[in-house]
Structure formats: C-alpha cells, structure tokens
Structure 1
C-alpha cells in the first residue's frame, strides 16, 4: 500500500511508533503498511515491522495469532537449543493468549476515554 511520507508518519504515530502486532519500536523507515481490516483498526491499515510482515505473510490477524500460539510447541519439538534452555530454566513457556499491540492500544484508548468522560461528568 502506497502512502505519502506524511500519512505514513501519521499512521506510525497513531500506534505510538510501534508495530501494530508485536509492539516493537518502528524505525523512521523500513517498515510496512498493511491492510489488516477495519474489523481490527480504524481505516483498516496498520504499521508493521519487517519481522512481523515476514512471519505473517498474507495471514489474517486471527490466523497469525494461531500461528504464534503454536511457536513454543514447535520450538520444543524441533529445537535442541530451546529444549536445553527449558531444562536449565533459561526460558519458560506460558499459556498467555497472544494479544497484539493494536488490541492493547485500543483498550488503552477506550479506558482513557471512559476515564475522561467520568472526570467531565463528575465535574458537572
């Protein structure tokens, strides 16, 4: 998706300068604009780091979430390095559901909106 420099920067700022999926800091250049759908974010487009862009491919956010949820099991099955790190307590798998950065941003915005509306109504 082609955007002007200004629109790209506005999009990047909208997500706090972070990848919409993993939340890592985005450089000024070298990240992707992806259409993830209006179901997920306003306007349907989001900034995505090169790592998430490569990992996700053309998967929907829900399919990407499923792919990520399988990573620990896959690493345990196929990686001697991961199994060694597990044995020595260097890593520990968790059963935390995958929550994308854009979901956390939306939750924070709605919380701050409801807090500010509470402040406005209590001041009246």
Structure 2
C-alpha cells in the first residue's frame, strides 16, 4: 500500500500499484501524511538546506537524535520555569551557545563541539 508507514514515515510505492496506475502515476514517489511539503521542508528549501529523513530501523542514528532531544529538554526546555513561551524561546540561543561552545561532550573527550569545526569563516589565514 502507498502512503505513510509506521510513525508517519514516508514509504516508497511500487509503480505497479493499481491505485496509482488509475491516478496516472507510474513512477515511485515519496509520500507524507499530508500532501505537499511541510513547513520544515519549505524553510529548509528557502535556506538551500537538504532535508534527509532517518532511515527506518536505524537505532544508532535514532538513538543519537533521541539523546539530543533529551539533553535539550533537560538542559533548556524543563531546566527552569518560564513565565511565557516567548521567554522560553528567548533562552534557546543562549543554551545552544553553551551546548556547542562550552559544554563538555564525552564523545569528544570532554571538548565542546565547536573544537571539531575546522571550516569556520575567518579562521583560515
């Protein structure tokens, strides 16, 4: 069946699917739960950023993403009480700066991620 697979992941549809042939579609396409690109896709396209989906059943990649989401929730979203959503949003850039520039990461032997970047503008003379 064409459409959306488990957890709203797009699935490839075989070109031989009778429903698709009746609709005049004769090549595989990727579909989503809503037709057309979602807002995130439009924002990415507007900034010339490719949007890749995590492959189904890829626990290593999914685990890394889930761990970041937990760190984001614990370190920023629920770390303290915010009086408003605007106040919470305003705190995000500062937390991301701390996460990328100052927080020790065990996978980087205690160094922040910024130490791994070698292609920053203005740093190559």
Higher helix residue share:
1
| Normalised TM-score (structure 1) | 0.28
**Which gives a bigger RCO, structure 1 or 2 (Cα 8 Å, sep 6+)?**
1
TM-score (norm 2): 0.28
